[in-house]
Structure 1
Amino acid sequence: MTKLLQQTGEYPFQETFTDLLVPMLIVGATFVVYYGISYYMKNNIKGTDDYMVAGRTIGPFVNGSAISATWESLATFMGVVALMITVQIPFLAVWTNFLLSIPLIVILYGQTLRRLGSYTPATFCKDRYGNTMSVVMALLIVFVMLMYALGQFIGLAQIMEVLLGWDYTLSLFAIAALVTGYVVIAGMWGVSYNSALQFWIMLTAALIPMMFVLNQLGSSGWFFPPLGYGDLVPEMQESNPGFFGMAFDTRWYFAMFLAMTLGPIGMPHLAQRIFTSRDVEAGRKTVFWFIFVTGLMFATMYSVAFAGVFWLENQGYEVADADLDKMIFYLNFAFNGNSVTGYVIAGAVAGGLSTVSGHMLAISAAVANDIVEAFELDVSEDRKTQFGYASVIGAGLVIALIALNPPAFLVVSILWAFAVSAAAITPVIVLGVWSARANRYGAIASSVVGFVTVVLLSPHAFSGITAGGEGLTAAVGIDAIMIAFPVSIITFVVVSLAAERIEALDVEPADNASLINEMHGYPDDGVERFNSALPLIVLAVLMLPILWWGVQPW
């Protein structure tokens, strides 16, 4: 098969559409609906609060679905399936950690930041640490969101390229214009309701076609794909016993926890979704719906990976690693034909649109709101909203331009973004909410050190400087978090406590006490609740064995 691929560039099964009419009608209809929702919601925008967090009025079911869609992305249909085929059963560790992140956002800071009136990490940093840290945070957010969105734009362009046969550059700018257009029209109002719809398009586009695939593969439980492949497991164990092996070093799983649980906590496009809830109770219900629908989607996509491996093994096909991200399309071409695969394409496009829109709003908030406030510019509410529109357009253009000549680490740029967030953003937010002893000097040092450590130790930036394992674990780009996260925490604690003892720095923990009490809903009664240095010291000490563990050869 490999020889055939090298000689002809073709596989012995259908790879592309032979009839475009129905697929084009399906994809075109979804875009019409997306724009219709955005246009209808446009009248709800009265100011920045409406544009960025939909006036904090989105209900739990819609919000839970929207968070899930924003969180899963086009990678769920393409790159994630490829990783599951390659990593196999250990990939469950990635998704388990993913699911922990949204409840932790609510528990660790969702309610407190709502009381403070913040809807971005940089807004919080301005109130908690001052203008300098706010600018640092805004720049980090822009970097992380660009990293995250880059893969989405390229994936969407590749889908359009395959679907329409256009040149890649034309496909890229066409999809950039389409995405930017509907985000600009309605901001978070339109994006929230569009994302909720996009989630259900994604789920049905994966779930329903997989019923027919599993039925034809011989599964008796085909009617519920998340579990329907269970009776095929004995055959899989015979043909591919390695599929169920937990083959990686223990540190790989722990690194997954640090990056994939703690990283999303600092992701602004996820936090903004929590802040769109009507109230705290609605936020809790939103988490329930998020976990339920996301779990259903994840389990469905695992059935896609299982079916793909099972099909390849039974047919004797071999697919190049670079093409594994197209497995869901190959399966549907083989078992369901052009029309159904057209709907699967629409689901993949929906995944890309929902995530990119969240990224662009986060970039817009960082540029149009956070930086304006950090420099205390005298800008009217209408002008800030206009800056929001301009920032979205600018973000779409910048991402498209970068995607014309993407960096070598494109495939794992999303995972790398999680590592940067975990090391440079999450500690600043969480410690700032829970300790009055955390100060601006510690926050700035922690963010800079965390960011630089991830970049330096990632094999995609400087190939001669690496950390962790080799092969696949190194290529994923997350091993560095085993060093970067504990170094970031230790830096935060040491610099914060040291700054208190330098008189010229004018650091007074009591200045933070009233703000933190306000965030947690306590009255300004003079009671010391978050002023002890002991929790910070204990946390820093706990990081030492993790750091030692991380620097050892894997």
Structure 2
Amino acid sequence: MPAEYALSNVWIGIGVVIILFFIFYGVGYMASRKTTSDADFYAAGFSIGPVTNGLGMAATWASLATFLGVIALILKLQVPFVYLWIQWAISIPLLTLLYGTSLRRMKAFTPATFIKQRYGKPSTIVIVCWMILIMVMYALGQMIGLGRAFELLFGVPYNTALVVAGLATVGFITIGGMYGATYNAAFQMVVMTIAMIVPMGAIMKAMGSSGWWFPPLAYGDMVPDMIAAIPTFFDMKYDFRWYFALIPAFTLGPVALPHLAMKVFTSSSVKNARWAVVWFAIFLGLLFSGTYVVGFAGNYFTATTGKVIAKPDQTLLILNVFYNPTLVAAFVMGGALAAGLSTIGGNLMAIAGLVGSDLLGILAPNMDAKKKMKWGYLALALGGITAILLAFKPPKFLVTSILWAFGLLATTATPAILLGVWWKEANKLALMVSSIFCGILFIVISPHVIPSICVGKGLVAALGMSGGMVTIPLSFAMFIVLSIIFNRVSALSAYAPTLEDKMVIDRIHGWGDHYEEKHYNGITVPIIIAIVCMGVFAWGLQPW
């Protein structure tokens, strides 16, 4: 017997949504009054404290997929999914440790600001174009979720729901800039954490768990019944390569996400940026643990009640309709909406920064700062409208477009940032060649563009895991090897790193004007990394 999500009183759901949007627009309006410069618009005046930033980072990272598509994946993958999610969760700490606080010293608006200083204008245009494409894809997944959420709440056709939800969302994000996006995201994180965890306590109590008082961790007493009902739930169902492929696809991609890096850059100091990561880990850990409990409870619900969850994306919503009052179920939907809105806010602010600051900084370097900011506003709005238009024919799986984007980002941008920050030999032409070639290769060997040409099959191909295991190590290896070669070819000397390029590296690492050629300048470690990457590349090409 199928179980479906349906509020007994749709007006309660409508009321919850109206209240939330009223708050979001209010925060956006108040934030717009503080936005007087490009630093305010793109980086909230570099003034955000660690707790607010930690909440904002977690909200921007969580996304609507946390409430919908991710839980559907838990139902499908069961325990192995926790390894997949670990890779996502560690990306923000890695981002901060590997380059976030270093670039914070530059007062950068986006990672592309560093690319411009380190590699010059042509390389920046390549990376910015990839990042804009990826941000639109990321926002696409959120728009699809918002459309489905409004469709469920209001009982209107998906396309109508998409337009209403999308335009309402783009409106308050455009008004508020980074101040509005940050403070709204902090509030949205509180809403989504409560909506994820508190109602699950009542659900677990109804299921007979004595650990209902703290759903994220205290559901252990349900495990024996789960094993009896689904003996394979805790099995490690895949070989080692499946788990290893999560690292390039789902760890290295998010490390380069511009909207996450921008949250680090808004911090009021380098110290506060580091502390924000601690708060991020606490807040996101609560939410992620709660989400896994929902997946556990969804499997338990199906196994013990005989009811089939026909639409796995709706698992959390269905459990709340089945066990909790209508008001609670409506609030949970509000939490899901908050998750989508916070991530779209980050995506669109990243597009605004990439266009208004980075791209126009190259194409129109003498343009007035306020005029560039207006173009940033326009890019933000157009990015949102583009995501709405693309969402009219959504992919089959909500998270597919998001996770596939991670693999593309890790292929095209992560090597440029990490090698650019830590290696003075990184060459401009090598960056462009490896990024363009491997990025196109990732697109070609995925199942979404040319299905007949595909590395891997099934879920590993659809989510970009198998493709990423080929193109990401190849991109790193190509970049390293080509850099070493190009730097030693006199005809290509124009692309070799200049003294000024190298001095940028010492400055962002805190050396100030004290330059040492030997810092970050060896080739032994990069060559070893390239050899290891080629081994991974060969492994990834083996039949899946």
* TM bucket normalised to smaller: over 0.9
Q: 1:435 matched to which residue of 2? A: 423
Q: 178, 189, 203: which one pairs with 1:188?
A: 178
Amino acid at match of 2:394: P
Find the residue that maps to 1:459 and give its secondary structure.
Answer: coil
- With over 3 angstroms needed to count, the CA separation of the structure-2 counterparts of 1:36 and 1:525, relative to structure 1, is closer
Compare 17-26 and 487-496 and name the one that shifted more.
17-26
The alignment status of 1:310 with 2:300, answered yes or no, reads yes
Q: 1:22 matched to which residue of 2? A: 12
* Cα separation, 1, equivalents of 2:148 and 2:476: 40
Asked whether the equivalents of residues 513 and 531 of structure 1 are also in contact (C-alpha less than 8 Å), the reply is no
Q: 1:393 matched to which residue of 2? A: 381
Asked whether the equivalents of residues 14 and 334 of structure 1 are also in contact (C-alpha less than 8 Å), the reply is no
**Alignment deviations for residues 506-531 of structure 1 (CA, whole Å, 9 cap, x no partner):** 24445232221112121444522122
**Alignment deviations for residues 10-33 of structure 1 (CA, whole Å, 9 cap, x no partner):** x3x453112123222222111111
Amino acid at match of 1:147: M
**Alignment deviations for residues 33-90 of structure 1 (CA, whole Å, 9 cap, x no partner):** 1111111111111111110110111111111011111001000000000000100101
Q: 1:380 matched to which residue of 2? A: 368
* Cα separation, 1, equivalents of 2:516 and 2:370: 41
Q: 1:360 matched to which residue of 2? A: 348
**Alignment deviations for residues 249-300 of structure 1 (CA, whole Å, 9 cap, x no partner):** 2111111111221111110000000001110110111000000111110110
The alignment status of 1:414 with 2:402, answered yes or no, reads yes
Q: 1:495 matched to which residue of 2? A: 482
User: What is the Cα deviation at residue 544 of structure 1?
Assistant: 2.1
Asked whether the equivalents of residues 43 and 262 of structure 2 are also in contact (C-alpha less than 8 Å), the reply is yes
Compare 351-360 and 542-551 and name the one that shifted more.
542-551
Asked whether the equivalents of residues 455 and 466 of structure 2 are also in contact (C-alpha less than 8 Å), the reply is yes
Asked whether the equivalents of residues 55 and 283 of structure 2 are also in contact (C-alpha less than 8 Å), the reply is yes
Q: 1:36 matched to which residue of 2? A: 26
Asked whether the equivalents of residues 144 and 398 of structure 2 are also in contact (C-alpha less than 8 Å), the reply is no
Amino acid at match of 2:229: S
Asked whether the equivalents of residues 142 and 363 of structure 1 are also in contact (C-alpha less than 8 Å), the reply is yes
Q: 1:546 matched to which residue of 2? A: 536
Compare 104-113 and 74-83 and name the one that shifted more.
104-113
Find the residue that maps to 2:245 and give its secondary structure.
Answer: helix
Amino acid at match of 1:302: Y
Structure 1 regions of 5+ residues with no counterpart? 2-10
Aligned ranges 1:265-276 → 2 under 5 Å: 265-276=255-266
Q: 1:165 matched to which residue of 2? A: 155
The alignment status of 1:477 with 2:467, answered yes or no, reads no
**Alignment deviations for residues 284-339 of structure 1 (CA, whole Å, 9 cap, x no partner):** 1100000011111011011111111111111112233xx10101111011000321
- With over 3 angstroms needed to count, the CA separation of the structure-2 counterparts of 1:21 and 1:394, relative to structure 1, is same
* Cα separation, 2, equivalents of 1:254 and 1:445: 27
Q: 492, 496, 503: which one pairs with 1:514?
A: 503
* Cα separation, 2, equivalents of 1:441 and 1:154: 38
Q: 1:505 matched to which residue of 2? A: 492
Runs of 4+ in structure 1 deviating by more than 6 angstroms, as ranges, are none
**Alignment deviations for residues 102-154 of structure 1 (CA, whole Å, 9 cap, x no partner):** 11111111122122232212211111111111111111111111111111101
Find the residue that maps to 1:406 and give its secondary structure.
Answer: coil
Find the residue that maps to 2:189 and give its secondary structure.
Answer: helix
Aligned ranges 1:271-282 → 2 under 5 Å: 271-282=261-272
Q: 423, 426, 438: which one pairs with 1:450?
A: 438
Q: Given the two structures, how large is their TM-score scaled by the length of structure 2?
A: 0.97
Amino acid at match of 2:491: A
- With over 3 angstroms needed to count, the CA separation of the structure-2 counterparts of 1:498 and 1:103, relative to structure 1, is same
Q: Given the two structures, how large is their TM-score scaled by the length of structure 1?
A: 0.95
Find the residue that maps to 1:223 and give its secondary structure.
Answer: coil
Asked whether the equivalents of residues 40 and 178 of structure 2 are also in contact (C-alpha less than 8 Å), the reply is yes
Q: 101, 104, 116: which one pairs with 2:106?
A: 116
Q: 2:323 matched to which residue of 1? A: 335
* Cα separation, 2, equivalents of 1:22 and 1:485: 47
- With over 3 angstroms needed to count, the CA separation of the structure-2 counterparts of 1:522 and 1:19, relative to structure 1, is same
Find the residue that maps to 1:550 and give its secondary structure.
Answer: helix
* Cα separation, 2, equivalents of 1:467 and 1:508: 34
* Cα separation, 2, equivalents of 1:182 and 1:15: 28
- With over 3 angstroms needed to count, the CA separation of the structure-2 counterparts of 1:508 and 1:314, relative to structure 1, is closer
Aligned ranges 1:275-290 → 2 under 5 Å: 275-290=265-280
User: What is the Cα deviation at residue 375 of structure 1?
Assistant: 2.1
Structure 2 regions of 5+ residues with no counterpart? none
Find the residue that maps to 2:156 and give its secondary structure.
Answer: coil
Compare 424-433 and 473-482 and name the one that shifted more.
473-482
Asked whether the equivalents of residues 113 and 119 of structure 1 are also in contact (C-alpha less than 8 Å), the reply is no
Amino acid at match of 1:521: G
* Cα separation, 1, equivalents of 2:103 and 2:170: 28
Amino acid at match of 2:510: G
- Residue correspondences, number: 541
- With over 3 angstroms needed to count, the CA separation of the structure-2 counterparts of 1:526 and 1:203, relative to structure 1, is closer
Q: 302, 324, 345: which one pairs with 2:333?
A: 345
User: What is the Cα deviation at residue 403 of structure 1?
Assistant: 1.2
Find the residue that maps to 1:67 and give its secondary structure.
Answer: helix
Asked whether the equivalents of residues 150 and 410 of structure 1 are also in contact (C-alpha less than 8 Å), the reply is no
Amino acid at match of 1:527: E
- With over 3 angstroms needed to count, the CA separation of the structure-2 counterparts of 1:14 and 1:90, relative to structure 1, is closer
* Cα separation, 1, equivalents of 2:79 and 2:343: 25
Q: 1:125 matched to which residue of 2? A: 115
Find the residue that maps to 1:492 and give its secondary structure.
Answer: helix
User: What is the Cα deviation at residue 550 of structure 1?
Assistant: 1.1
Asked whether the equivalents of residues 149 and 359 of structure 1 are also in contact (C-alpha less than 8 Å), the reply is yes
Amino acid at match of 2:415: P
* Cα separation, 2, equivalents of 1:376 and 1:199: 37
Amino acid at match of 1:287: V
* Cα separation, 2, equivalents of 1:128 and 1:437: 11
Amino acid at match of 1:433: V
* Cα separation, 1, equivalents of 2:226 and 2:379: 50
Asked whether the equivalents of residues 506 and 515 of structure 2 are also in contact (C-alpha less than 8 Å), the reply is no
**Alignment deviations for residues 318-369 of structure 1 (CA, whole Å, 9 cap, x no partner):** 233xx10101111011000321100001000000000011101111111111
* Cα separation, 2, equivalents of 1:535 and 1:437: 12
* Cα separation, 1, equivalents of 2:496 and 2:348: 37
Asked whether the equivalents of residues 81 and 305 of structure 1 are also in contact (C-alpha less than 8 Å), the reply is yes
Q: 17, 39, 47: which one pairs with 1:49?
A: 39
Amino acid at match of 2:375: F
Find the residue that maps to 1:378 and give its secondary structure.
Answer: coil
Find the residue that maps to 1:404 and give its secondary structure.
Answer: coil
Find the residue that maps to 1:58 and give its secondary structure.
Answer: coil
Compare 93-102 and 471-480 and name the one that shifted more.
471-480
* Cα separation, 1, equivalents of 2:148 and 2:286: 27
User: What is the Cα deviation at residue 472 of structure 1?
Assistant: 2.9
Amino acid at match of 1:474: A
Compare 536-545 and 507-516 and name the one that shifted more.
507-516
